[in-house]
Amino acid sequence: MATLCKNCSHALVFDPAIQKMKCSACGSTFLPEEVESEAKAYREDLNAESAEEVYGGNNDQFMDCYVYTCSECGGEIIINGTEASTTCVYCGNPNVVFSRIAKQKCPEFVMPFTVTKEEAISRVKERIRRGIFVPKEIKDFSIDCVRGIYLPYWIVSATYSDAVVIKGQVRQGKNSVTRYFGRAGTLNLEHLPIDASRALSDETSSKLEPFTLSRLKPFDEDYLAGFYSNVSDVTYSDLRYAALHRAQEFFNEGAMEDVQASSKKVISSHPSLKLNNDMVYAMLPAWFITFKYKGKPNTILVNGDTGKIICALPWKKVLFFTLIVLLAAVISVGAFFVFRATLPALLSSGSHRSSSSNNGRGKVIAFLVAGIIALFSTGIGKIVKVIRNIKLTQDKSMFNFMKKRQG
């Protein structure tokens, strides 16, 4: 079902740049609350039929696919089991599947896109252009697909309690000893967004945060026009588990920061979570941009509210590790000359060098060694984080989540 222009009857779409419904034919603009499709009352109860019923065959062949009829041209629209809005591949008009936004599943709020498609693409290209280790082929990439998708979220408040035991290493003289630390407390979470789509991993969706929740508007299906959207398909148990996992991450992070030790690790935990009953169901915006590099799909996400970019791209490993080796060589040479200049003085028992001077030189050497170790430890940590994020960017499930959208 498409909402039509009052002046020329052409399909309207929501324009993030002006925050209004816009007609591409005559240029008329309307606030979403000012327009409503006359066909809504007749198509609200029209269910999408399963592909198996329409074409015959078996479930393995069609998976979770359904056939819906475009209200404008009569063409068949193929949708998955949770899509609520899409675009007709034949006439290009937006369609909202109202049976998917039934009263029992209707979102309470929607956060309209404020970042336009062009702005999202521009931000991504600018980010990639600044990458020192990004291959030239990626910097000159051609976009394979762009989709603006409203993701379903439950916005929850909860009280989390935990008592953890943290294991860490503490310096004792010249040696390190193992110590155990106990931390307990309560964490109050307010307005925490939890991804309500099983098709998208919680790790990926959480990276889109934060959203400006003060921009939420009462739900109106016209905001979906021109975009894709999914309805919630998670259970209460799924929701509670996701909230518990997020809360536990926040609590452990705070507890670890409170412990003065190295090589810290939580070895025991006793979590407890109480979800408040004031949960809010909302649709939040995100742009999905994909391109292929060496045959692998890469999906970059852009927060449709703040413009935040979530991506980690393939990088020039040879160049990176060459620079690391050169840096290590430079530091080693520098350290060699420092040791060469200071070691005789430290070993000398002559009276021409004071004890305080020797101690000072010793501290310089110790600081230099600690700095080298910290530098390489930080570098290794960042490499591990980048590799992990690249796996998310090249995740096939996220690519399929976006790619199967018609357009």
In a domain, 378, yes or no: no
* Amino acid 63: pLDDT: 42
For residue 364, give Cα distances in angstroms to 333, 372, 373. 16, 12, 14
Whole-model pTM above 0.85? no
Which helix (H) or strand (E) segment is 50 a member of?
Answer: strand 49-50
* Amino acid 286: pLDDT: 93
160 plus 288 within the same structural domain: yes
192 plus 292 within the same structural domain: yes
For residue 296, give Cα distances in angstroms to 36, 105, 241. 42, 36, 32
**Are 200 and 193 in contact, with CB atoms under 8 Å apart?**
no
Length of the chain, please?
A: 407
Note the Cα 316 to chain centre separation in Å.
24
Q: What share of the chain is helix, strand, coil (3-state, %, to 5)?
A: 35, 30, 35
> In the chain, how many domains are there?
2
Helix (H, G, I), strand (E, B) or coil at 224: helix
As given in the structure block, the two tokens for residue 216 are 């939420």
Tell me which of 110, 133, 161 is where a domain ends: 110
* Amino acid 113: pLDDT: 95
Helix (H, G, I), strand (E, B) or coil at 269: strand
In a domain, 325, yes or no: no
Give the span between the Cα atoms of 353 and 376, in whole angstroms.
Answer: 34
- Written as one letter, the residue type at 19 is Q
* Amino acid 212: pLDDT: 94
Q: At what angle do helices 317-347 and 355-393 cross, to 10 degrees?
A: 170
Tens of each residue's pLDDT in the chain, 407 residues: 567 888 888 888 899 999 999 998 899 999 988 887 655 554 455 454 443 444 444 444 444 455 555 656 555 565 655 666 666 655 556 666 655 555 556 788 999 999 999 999 888 888 777 766 566 766 666 777 788 889 999 999 999 999 999 999 998 887 889 999 999 999 999 999 999 888 777 778 888 899 999 999 998 888 888 888 877 888 899 999 999 999 999 999 999 999 999 889 999 999 999 999 889 999 999 998 887 777 777 788 899 999 998 876 655 555 555 656 666 666 666 666 666 665 555 555 444 445 555 555 555 555 555 555 555 555 555 555 555 555 555 566 666 666 655 54
**Are 117 and 87 in contact, with CB atoms under 8 Å apart?**
no
As given in the structure block, the two tokens for residue 378 are 């930080």
165 plus 21 within the same structural domain: no
φ, ψ of residue 295 in degrees (nearest 5): 85, -5
105 plus 152 within the same structural domain: no
* Amino acid 207: pLDDT: 86
As given in the structure block, the two tokens for residue 353 are 């060098």
* Amino acid 68: pLDDT: 55
Tell me which of 254, 271, 299 is where a domain ends: 299
Contacts made by residues 250-254, CB under 8 angstroms, sequence distance 24+: 250/160, 250/187, 250/189, 251/160, 251/162, 251/164, 251/185, 251/187, 252/164, 254/187
70 plus 181 within the same structural domain: no
206 plus 262 within the same structural domain: yes
**Are 88 and 70 in contact, with CB atoms under 8 Å apart?**
yes
**Are 220 and 34 in contact, with CB atoms under 8 Å apart?**
no
Please give the sequence-ordered ranges of beta strands (E in DSSP) within 57-143, or none if there are none.
65-69, 76-80, 83-87, 94-96, 109-110
Taking alpha carbons only, the member of 376, 313, 111 closest to residue 217 is 111
209 plus 70 within the same structural domain: no
In a domain, 247, yes or no: yes
**Are 183 and 258 in contact, with CB atoms under 8 Å apart?**
yes
* Amino acid 389: pLDDT: 54
Helix (H, G, I), strand (E, B) or coil at 182: strand
* Amino acid 42: pLDDT: 46
In a domain, 371, yes or no: no
105 plus 222 within the same structural domain: no
Domain of 230, in residue numbers: 145-299
In a domain, 178, yes or no: yes
Give the span between the Cα atoms of 156 and 87, in whole angstroms.
Answer: 31
88 plus 170 within the same structural domain: no
Tell me which of 281, 299, 317 is where a domain ends: 299
92 plus 176 within the same structural domain: no
* Amino acid 319: pLDDT: 55
155 plus 287 within the same structural domain: yes
Taking alpha carbons only, the member of 115, 125, 118, 126 closest to residue 146 is 118
In a domain, 377, yes or no: no
As given in the structure block, the two tokens for residue 398 are 């996220």
105 plus 162 within the same structural domain: no
Taking alpha carbons only, the member of 284, 295, 268, 74 closest to residue 194 is 284
In a domain, 40, yes or no: yes
Taking alpha carbons only, the member of 226, 208, 207, 200 closest to residue 401 is 200
In a domain, 195, yes or no: yes
